[in-house]
Amino acid sequence: MLPPIRREYILNSSLNNIGLTIAGLSAYSAITNEDIEALMALRIKTRIFETGSYIFREGILNSDYAFSISGYSFRQKQTIGGYRQILSMIIPGDIINPENRYVSSLDYNVQCASRSLVAYASRSDFDTLLNVCGSVSLAMSLSSVADSRQLREWILNISGRSARTRVAHFLNEFAFRTKARGIGDGISFELPMSQEQIGDSVGITPAHVNRALRSFTEDGLIEQSIRSYRIINADRFRYVGEFTEGYIFGSNLNVE
């Protein structure tokens, strides 16, 4: 079952651009009205990034927290030889660098899969907010736990599943996360990633991705047109992808 989303978080996102971030955090733990007001009062600046550009580079010093407002990006690392592994998808409402409180630079790159709007708050302002806004601090901690659970699921997907299952799992996760965030219906969605990028997310070649997608359409599981997808048989597609959503929000986390 999806966690409840208070629609005013999304509707108010135009006030200071982080309404979706509040919606994202509230999926892990309720945010008090006082803490919502503090978040909405944050001093922020925004920047637009074009497709393919980097929001953060590995090892480069950074002092601001970054919030994804619109568009999609991904965390990735590269070997010396140029092999790229995409580590996770960043969707609108995500905090792009949640570990910013504890590190001065990231150990991964963040690259835009589509044109993206990013909001920034200074480390001092946001850390002060975390120190006084207990519900935000708790939600941040729980979201980090959920991120760890998601990473473990990705490791299993890459190391223990067939190419076809990996791609199905990846698409199911994207559909579920965007629906949970209130920016999709979980059935039809635009995924602004090439087959090469999908392959780099699940550890297979573009040819294997193409073969998997073709098999899904032939089996009546999805419809696909370039980067537009529509899930036709949700239950069967979840079964093919071995997808269950419990790891995303950590519904069994103990927060008492």
Summarize pLDDT for 37-85 with one digit per residue, the tens: 999 999 999 999 999 999 999 999 988 999 999 999 999 999 999 899 9
Report domain 150-249's class: mainly alpha
Indicate if the pLDDT at residue 4 is higher than 50: no
pLDDT at 254: 53
Mean pLDDT of the chain: 90
Indicate if the pLDDT at residue 99 is higher than 70: yes
- Report, as an integer, the average pLDDT of 11-25: 68
pLDDT at 253: 55
Residues of the chain with CATH 2.60.120.10: 7-147
Binning pLDDT at 50, 70 and 90, where does residue 5 land?
very low
pLDDT at 138: 95
- Report, as an integer, the average pLDDT of 122-136: 95
Binning pLDDT at 50, 70 and 90, where does residue 174 land?
very high
Whether 204 contacts 120, CB under 8 Å: no
Q: Which of 16-30, 91-105, 176-190, 195-209 has the lowest mean pLDDT?
A: 16-30
Binning pLDDT at 50, 70 and 90, where does residue 11 land?
very low
Indicate if the pLDDT at residue 244 is higher than 80: yes
Query: What distance in Å separates the CA atoms of residue 113 and residue 115, rounded to the nearest whole number?
Result: 7
pLDDT at 12: 39
Q: What does pTM read for this prediction?
A: 0.89
Q: What region does 51 belong to: left with phi over 0, alpha with psi -120 to 50, or beta?
A: beta
Binning pLDDT at 50, 70 and 90, where does residue 255 land?
low
pLDDT at 27: 87
Residues of the chain with CATH 1.10.10.10: 150-249
pLDDT at 232: 97
- Report, as an integer, the average pLDDT of 148-169: 96
Binning pLDDT at 50, 70 and 90, where does residue 134 land?
very high
Q: Which of 1-5, 101-105, 207-211, 248-252 has the lowest mean pLDDT?
A: 1-5
Binning pLDDT at 50, 70 and 90, where does residue 8 land?
very low
pLDDT at 15: 42
Residue range 7-147, CATH number: 2.60.120.10
pLDDT at 256: 52
